[in-house]
Amino acid sequence: DFAAQTGVRLIPYGGGSSVVGHINPLPGDAPVLTVDLGRMNRLLELDEASRLATFECGVPGPALEQELNQRGYTLGHFPQSFEFSTLGGWIATRSTGQQSYHYGRIEPLFAGGRLLTPLGTLDLPAFPASAAGPDLRHLVLGSEGRLGILTQAQVRIRPLPQKERFLAIFFPDWDSGMAAVKHMAQSGLAVSMLRLSDPVETETTLVLSGHDRLVSFAKWGLSLIGQREQRCMLIFGLTGRRDSTALAYRQVQSMARPYGGFAVNFFIGDKWQKSRFYTPYLRNTLWEHGYALDTLETALPWKAVPEAVQAIQASLHAALQPWNERVLVFSHLSHLYTDGASMYVTYLFRRAADPLETEQRWRAMKQGASEQIVRFGGTISHQHGIGLDHAAYLAAEKGPLGMEAIRSALHHFDPQGILNPGKLVDTSPVTQGDPLQA
Q: Give the model's pLDDT for residue 282.
A: 87
Within 10 angstroms of residue 326's Cβ, the number of other Cβ atoms is 12
Q: What percent of the chain has pLDDT over 90?
A: 84
pLDDT at 215: 67
φ/ψ of residue 131, rounded to 5: -115, 20
Residue 398 has pLDDT above 70, yes or no: yes
Buried b (16+ CB within 10 A) or exposed e, 2-19: ebeeeeebbbbbbbebbb
Average pLDDT value for residue range 346-355: 96
**Distant-in-sequence, close-in-space partners of 112: CB < 8 Å, separation ≥ 6:** 123, 124, 125, 126, 127, 137, 153, 154
pLDDT value, residue 435: 42
pLDDT at 223: 74
Percent of the chain with pLDDT over 70: 94
Q: Which residues contact 123 (CB under 8 A, 6 or more apart)?
A: 112, 114
Query: What is the model's pLDDT at position 432?
Result: 35
Give phi and psi for 41, each to the nearest 5.
Answer: -130, 20
The per-residue pLDDT for range 180-204, each reduced to its tens digit, is 999 999 999 999 999 999 999 998 8
355-375 and 305-319 helices, crossing angle to 10°: 160
pTM across the whole model: 0.93
* For residue 430, pLDDT beyond 50: no
Model pLDDT, residue 145: 96
Under the banding of pLDDT at 50, 70 and 90, the label for residue 363 is very high
| The pLDDT of residue 437 is above 50 | no
CA atoms of 300 and 376, how far apart (whole Å): 8
Banded model confidence at residue 163, pLDDT cuts 50, 70, 90: very high
What is the average pLDDT score of the chain?
A: 92
Cβ(90)–Cβ(79) below 8 Å:
yes
pLDDT over threshold 50, residue 212: yes
pLDDT at residue number 237:
96
What 3-state DSSP class applies to 112? strand
If pLDDT is split at 50, 70 and 90, which confidence band does 434 have?
very low
Q: Is 341 helix (H, G, I), strand (E, B) or coil?
A: strand
| Tens-place pLDDT, residues 1-33 | 999 999 999 999 999 999 999 999 998 899 999
pLDDT value at residue 7: 92
Res. 278 pLDDT band, cuts 50 70 90? confident
Mean predicted confidence (pLDDT) in 222-249: 88
Residue 35 DSSP one-character state: E
How confident is the model at residue 427, as a pLDDT?
58
pLDDT digits (tens, 9 = 90+) for 41-76: 999 999 999 999 999 999 999 999 999 999 999 999
Rounded-to-integer distance, Cα 48 and Cα 45, Å: 9
Q: Which helix (H) or strand (E) holds 234?
A: strand 232-240
Residue-level pLDDT at 407: 94
